[in-house]
Amino acid sequence: MFIVNVEAAINHEGKWLVIERSQKEEHAGGMLSLVGGTVELGQQPVEILESNLKREVLEEVDVEIKNVNYLYSSAFVTDKNEHVLNIVFLCEYKSGIAYPKSPDEVEDVKWMSSDQIERHSKAPVYLKESIKQAELKISLTR
């Protein structure tokens, strides 16, 4: 019924880890995005979303994350009429130096402030919404 996608809102020292998607990507090629990807079967059945997210972040940008907490979910339909359930998690940076480890998926990696993301011409509405949701959650936990 749905493709399940997970994304990581990773905050480190007041900046968010954002990728520029490869032009080769079918969905939102060349646009800014959080790191993440499609949930695959065969992963451990407990915390399948979290384990898939950790794997995706490591595969795409070579960064380890910790304290993976549900942020919010949304749904959309791709250009190919595929229904996607997107689940965003607020995460903490653990280790690694972010770089485009998977160039077929990731063109560039950036640490950006919320304001930089809000003003960026390649930042889609859904990325801006994810950052707003994450900033709200952080402010509520302080």
Q: CA of 9: how far to CAs of 6, 44, 45, in Å?
A: 10, 22, 23
Q: Per mean pLDDT, which range of 5-9, 24-28, 135-139 is the poorest? A: 24-28
Residue 124 three-state SS:
coil
Residue 35: which H helix or E strand, with range?
Answer: strand 35-38
- Please give the pLDDT value at position 115: 97
Please check the confidence at residue 40 and state whether its pLDDT lies above 80. Answer: yes
Please check the confidence at residue 78 and state whether its pLDDT lies above 70. Answer: yes
- Please give the pLDDT value at position 14: 93
Domain range 3-141, CATH class: alpha beta
Mean pLDDT of the chain: 92
Write down the pTM of the prediction: 0.92
* Residue showing tokens 């990325």: 127
Q: Where are the domains of the chain?
A: 3-141
127 neighbors 34 (Cβ within 8 angstroms): yes
